[in-house]
Structures are given as C-alpha cells and as structure tokens.
Amino acid sequence: MTNKDIHFELAGDRHEVAVIRLTRAKKRNAINDGLILAIREVFEKLPQTVRAAVIDGEGEHFCAGLDLSELQERDAVAGVFHSRMWHAALDCVQFGPVPVVASLHGAVVGGGLELASACHIRVADETTFYALPEGSRGIFVGGGGAVRIPRLIGAARMTDMMLTGRVYNANDGERIGLAQYLVPTGTAFDKALELAKRIATNAPMTNYALTHVLPRIADQSADHGFMTEAMMAAIAQSAPEAKDRVRAFLDGRAAKVQKS
C-alpha cells in the first residue's frame, strides 16, 4: 500500500484478519480522492489468507467525512463522477471478499458514516458521535449514504439528521441501529478485532452468503427472497465443510451454543 494516509497489516495466527487504518489524523481522517481510491485498492487486493477485516481511524476521530477542501473546484459533471468513485470504492468494502468490522470512536460524520455503513458490523466506543453535516454545508450525501443509512435507521431518522443537523451520541447511535456494539472508551478496536477473528473461523461460504446474498434478499420481494434463500441454503449445506461441521457437533466435538 503506497498511500501514506492508510495503513495495512495482517493480524491473527494465520494472518486471517486484515487491519486497515486511516492515518490522516491531522485532518481527522477526512477522505480525499487519493484516500478513497486507496480504500478501494486495499479491498480489491486483500491477500488470500484474509477471512475478515477491521477498519479504524487513527487519532481522536474515526472519520470527518469528505475532504471539504477538494469540493470547491468541482462542477456538476465532475460531481457525478466523484460520487460514483465513492460508490465504486464502498461497494468494494460492502461486496468485497470478506466481512468487514468498523471500529468507531469520536466523529463518524458525513462520508465517515457512509464508510461505516458500508461495513457489516459497527463497534462504537462511548466517545462516538454520528452526524450528517451535509445538510448544513449545502450539499447532499454522495457516498452511498442515501441507500445504506436508511436501511440501518430508516429514512425518517436520516431525514431528521440532515434537515436539523441532529447529532446522535454513542448510546443513542446503538439504540437506533447505527452500531451493533457499544463498548467502553478506547476498546472498540480490541472488540472489533475479537469479532473479526471469530468471523474468520466461519465457513467462507456462510460468510459469503451473509455479505453478498442476504442484502440482495433484503431488496427482493418476499416471494423471490424465499426462493433465493432456498438456493443459498442448498449450496451452503452441500459444501464438504458444512457436512464436517455438522458431523463434529453430532459427535460432540463442536461447541454448543452458550447462554450469554
């Protein structure tokens, strides 16, 4: 990885977790064109060993969104291509080869929230706050937020965030579904890494079904969704790995579900 604003490393005994960190803390990890292209490149070129990924941000904030200093010179045509560049990059996050866990703290705003919402799991610490300041900057979301954020919290809440500048704190963010996990200050990365390592132990086909098939089913009519589900279930259960895992449970060699 050649972009200085992004750090990449492999974690886990088998190098099964990719850790991707935004390292532009002086600018609160604001995303310029180079950084969005670098995010795309990382997810397109994940090593074969990788089974799950964690994305986080260096410094006090996860991400301050679009680098506003690059916005000034853009005309309408360039704006369309810029937005489509973000879409292509964040599609590589959401529909890349592995599940992605976002480790959130501080500001998760604008394009930062769009990046977080392209991830499959969001872990937030108590310093996290969420906003869509596009409304007050006279612009609109452009990184897929109009599609992904209403699927997390509903169109009404997103409309409120953009019309009124409402900021959600960490507790309320978890309550409305912006994050699935809320953890003590400073522990989001550890929790995200723990979850990623756990995800990496799943059968790859199960993870693929959850990241690529489930969101498509959610977009289908119920009738089509049931059929897609049946196809996916049949493919997953016919894999040799699924048979081995079920046999291990029946032989008493696999973990039971534990009461939490």
Retrieve residue 124's tokens.
């937030």
**Contact 25/56 with Cβ under 8 angstroms?**
no
CA gap 121, 101 in Å, rounded: 5
User: Which 111-130 positions form the footprint of ligand 1HE (CB under 6 A)?
Assistant: 111
Active site residue 229: no
Question: C-beta of 169: minimal distance to ligand 1HE in Å?
Answer: 13
Active site residue 114: yes
Question: C-beta of 129: minimal distance to ligand 1HE in Å?
Answer: 8
Is 64 among the residues that bind ligand 1HE (CB under 6 A)? Answer: yes
Distances (CA, A) of 77 to 31, 74, 83: 20, 8, 10
Stretch in the footprint of ligand 1HE (CB under 6 A) among 37-45, 139-147, 151-159, 235-243: 139-147
Considering the complex, state which of residue 65 and residue 96 has its C-beta at the smaller distance from ligand 1HE. 65
Considering the complex, state which of residue 66 and residue 209 has its C-beta at the smaller distance from ligand 1HE. 66
First to last CA, the chain: 40
Is 137 among the residues that bind ligand 1HE (CB under 6 A)? Answer: yes
Task: Enumerate residues 6+ apart whose C-beta is below 8 A from 113.
Answer: 65, 130, 131, 132, 145, 149, 178
Retrieve residue 148's tokens.
């992904």
Binding mask 74-93 for ligand 1HE (x = CB under 6 A): ------------x-------
Distances (CA, A) of 230 to 213, 235, 238: 11, 9, 12
Look up tokens 């196809």; give the residue: 231
Query: What residue type is assigned to position 110 of the chain?
Result: G
Of 12, 99, 133, 173, the residue at the interface with ligand 1HE (CB under 6 A) is: 133
Of 57, 110, 135, 173, the residue at the interface with ligand 1HE (CB under 6 A) is: 110
Catalytic amino acids? 114, 134
Question: What does the binding site for ligand 1HE look like in residue numbers (CB under 6 A)?
Answer: 27-28, 30, 60-61, 64-69, 86, 107, 109-111, 133-134, 137, 141-143
